[in-house]
């Protein structure tokens, strides 16, 4: 044991996936690995006034909860945090995470926290993966996923257990193609170079695959060769698209899109409905668990045929389109133009006529006549991780629907918003967490708020 190594017992797991222990002084230390009950040998790498950050060098006493990870990248990859933890325990920690947010951020003590609905599929559950191209110091490049905790490091992916096997082969093939053709890789710091992302979307129910190459402005050099290579090697790829993103923000969406072959979209099934997914529009990433999530939400909402429903942050319209046959009318609101177009297309595709979509910021839409003139019986909220914009929350409170179904991918912002809704007189009887992403620290949840001032 080197002098600066210390023995620490792991007490708990933090929401960001770190392990928590205490130094001899009692000061909290966050560690990069370790499971509750384990004893580890670690060094302090950062000291802050209220806590330290440490790196584990060895696990001296192993927990019974530990299972062998299946992936060779586990530990260094930023994707999975808990592949070495028994799934039943992952679920338990996710429940604790929700409970902690509800108590400490929401201050809500009379909400019933239901058991987490686990995912039947533990691996290969993702229908979308984004791989980054990254310039390497030796002048070469890598194509894969980010290293754990490093936005500025990408490792060459060999195999990922969260998506299908074809996606692995596509990653390898595209990496070799870019190397052979000498296509310059985009440099995030310098804002130079060309190729930025490889995005693969593979539907679970229809077996369609979309390959999307995201680049800086310009034509892909030797794109005909790329097209032929994908066609020859991956007959299961149904469409290849090229998106150009010349903005500094390093996101895998494009301002200019070109369909190289196929229809430019893929179609996925949710229950008995079909959803068209385009490269730049949101679609839930775990198809099977999306049905679980929506079913849990609809069961809690318990809509009636007379209901007029507002579906905020509607993406490609899946929630509203599935709900519309069971209610009087649905209005969907979404910021991204491509998603709104896809939502309209999806409504036609599914012959749903009592739904309309509006493009724009939720906070702006809620001020319009469409939102304020005729009352809504229910509002559905499914925001990004940041939760509700304060102005949107204020306007929802002034519209004051009898029921609000809140679907959240972030228990912390949910708890913050729930606090405000409850303070204004809404009641939240129960929360149901759903695990959409096994082996990661993410957890979704649904809950319905009832206006206590409306007689039931």
Ligand X SMILES: C[S@@+](CC[C@H](N)C(=O)[O-])C[C@H]1O[C@@H](n2cnc3c(N)ncnc32)[C@H](O)[C@@H]1O
CB of 421 to ligand X, least distance (A): 18
Q: Is 451 in the site for ligand X (CB under 6 A)?
A: no
Report which DSSP code applies to 248. S
- Selecting among 77, 160, 314, 409, the annotated active-site residue is 409
Q: Tokens in use for 349?
A: 């595709």
CA dihedral of residues 364, 370, 376, 378 (deg, nearest 10):
-40
- Least CB distance from residue 317 to ligand X, whole Å? 8
Residue 298 found at the interface with ligand X (CB under 6 A): no
**Residue 284 lies near ligand X (rule: CB under 6 A):** yes
The partner residues of 290 in beta bridges, in order of sequence, read none
Q: Does 314 bind ligand X (CB under 6 A)?
A: yes
Binding of residue 318 to ligand X (CB under 6 A)? yes
Radius of gyration of the chain (CA): 24
> Is the CB of 384 or the CB of 390 nearer to ligand X?
384
Using CB under 6 A as the binding rule, the residues of this chain from 371 to 430 that contact ligand X are 382-384, 409
315 near ligand X, judged by CB under 6 A: yes
- Tell me: does residue 211 bind ligand X (CB under 6 A): no
Which pair of structure tokens corresponds to residue 383? 């925001």
- Find the binder of ligand X among 313, 406, 414, 449 (CB under 6 A): 313
- Alpha carbon distance 14, 97 (integer Å): 8
Q: Does 336 bind ligand X (CB under 6 A)?
A: yes
Which stretch in 100-108, 210-218, 276-284, 413-421 sits in contact with ligand X by CB under 6 A?
Answer: 276-284
**Piece of the chain touching ligand X by CB under 6 A; list 33-41, 136-144, 334-342, 419-427:** 334-342
Q: Can residue 440 be called a binding residue for ligand X (CB under 6 A)?
A: no
Dump the DSSP string for 144-198: EEEBTT-TT-EEE----TTS-HHHHHHHHHHHHHHHHHTPPBPBTTTTB-SEEEE
**Sign of the CA dihedral 272, 277, 283, 285?**
positive
274 binds ligand X (CB under 6 A): no
State which residue, 370 or 454, has the beta carbon closest to ligand X.
Answer: 370
409 is a catalytic site residue: yes
361 binds ligand X (CB under 6 A): yes
CB of 189 to ligand X, least distance (A): 27
Q: How far is the CB of 342 from ligand X (least distance, A)?
A: 10
Measured from the CB atom, the residue of 27 and 269 that comes closer to ligand X is: 269
Binding-site member from 170, 319, 342, 431 for ligand X (CB under 6 A): 319
* Dihedrals phi, psi of 427, to nearest 5 degrees: -110, 135
Compute CA distances 43 → 6, 51, 207, 306, 446, whole Å: 6, 14, 48, 62, 40
Q: Shortest approach of ligand X to residue 387 CB, angstroms?
A: 10
* Minimum gap (Å) between residue 403 Cβ and ligand X: 17
Q: Are strands 403-408 and 426-427 parallel, antiparallel or unpaired?
A: unpaired
Instruction: Name which of 34 and 320 has its Cβ closer to ligand X.
Output: 320
- Buried b / exposed e along 60-82 (16+ C-beta atoms within 10 A): eeebebbeebebebbeebbbbbb
Smallest gap, in angstroms, from Cβ of residue 284 to ligand X? 5
| CA triple 299-304-310, angle to 5 deg | 85
Nearer to ligand X, 307 or 382 (CB): 382
Q: How many whole angstroms separate alpha carbon 244 and alpha carbon 257?
A: 6
Residues that bind ligand X (CB under 6 A): 282-284, 313-315, 318-319, 333-336, 339, 361-362, 382-384, 409
């Amino acid at each position: 044991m080197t002098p600066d190594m210390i023995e620490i017992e792991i007490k708990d797991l933090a929401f960001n996936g770190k392990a928590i222990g205490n130094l001899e002084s009692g000061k909290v230390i966050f560690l990069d690995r370790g499971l509750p009950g384990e004893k580890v040998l670690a060094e302090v790498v950062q000291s802050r006034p209220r806590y330290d950050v440490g790196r584990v060098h060895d696990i001296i006493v192993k927990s019974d909860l530990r299972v062998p990870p299946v992936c060779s990248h586990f530990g260094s990859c930023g994707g999975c945090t808990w592949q070495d933890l028994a799934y039943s325990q992952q679920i338990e920690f996710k429940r604790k995470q929700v409970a902690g947010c509800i108590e400490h951020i929401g201050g809500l003590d009379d909400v019933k926290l239901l058991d987490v609905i686990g995912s039947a599929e533990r691996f290969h559950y993702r229908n979308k993966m984004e791989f980054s191209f990254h310039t390497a110091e030796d002048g070469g490049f890598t194509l894969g996923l980010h290293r754990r905790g490093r936005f500025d490091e990408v490792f060459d992916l060999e195999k990922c257990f969260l998506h299908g096997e074809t996606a692995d082969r596509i990653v390898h093939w595209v990496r070799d193609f870019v190397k052979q053709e000498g296509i310059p890789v985009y440099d995030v710091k310098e804002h130079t170079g060309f190729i930025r992302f490889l995005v693969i979307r593979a539907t679970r129910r229809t077996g369609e695959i979309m390959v999307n190459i995201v680049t800086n402005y310009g034509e892909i050099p030797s794109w005909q060769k790329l097209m032929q290579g994908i066609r020859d090697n991956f007959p299961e790829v149904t469409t290849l698209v090229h998106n150009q993103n010349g903005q500094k923000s390093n996101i895998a969406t494009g301002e200019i899109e070109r369909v190289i072959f196929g229809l430019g979209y893929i179609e996925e099934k949710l229950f008995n409905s079909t959803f068209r997914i385009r490269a730049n529009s949101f679609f839930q990433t775990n198809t099977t668990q999306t049905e679980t999530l929506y079913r849990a939400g609809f069961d809690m909402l318990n809509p009636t045929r007379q209901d007029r429903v507002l579906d905020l942050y509607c993406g490609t319209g899946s929630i509203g389109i599935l709900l519309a046959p069971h209610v009087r009318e649905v209005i969907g609101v979404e910021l991204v133009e491509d998603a709104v177009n896809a939502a309209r297309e999806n409504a036609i595709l599914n012959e749903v006529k009592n739904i309309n979509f509006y493009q724009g910021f939720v906070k702006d839409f809620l001020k319009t006549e469409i939102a304020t003139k005729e009352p809504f019986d229910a509002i559905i909220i499914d925001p990004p991780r940041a939760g509700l914009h304060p102005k949107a929350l204020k306007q929802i409170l002034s519209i004051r629907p009898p029921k609000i179904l809140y679907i959240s991918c972030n228990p912390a912002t949910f708890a913050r918003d729930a606090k405000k809704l409850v303070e204004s007189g809404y009641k939240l009887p129960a929360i149901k967490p759903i695990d959409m992403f096994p082996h990661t620290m993410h957890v979704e949840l649904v809950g319905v708020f009832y206006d206590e001032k409306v007689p039931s």
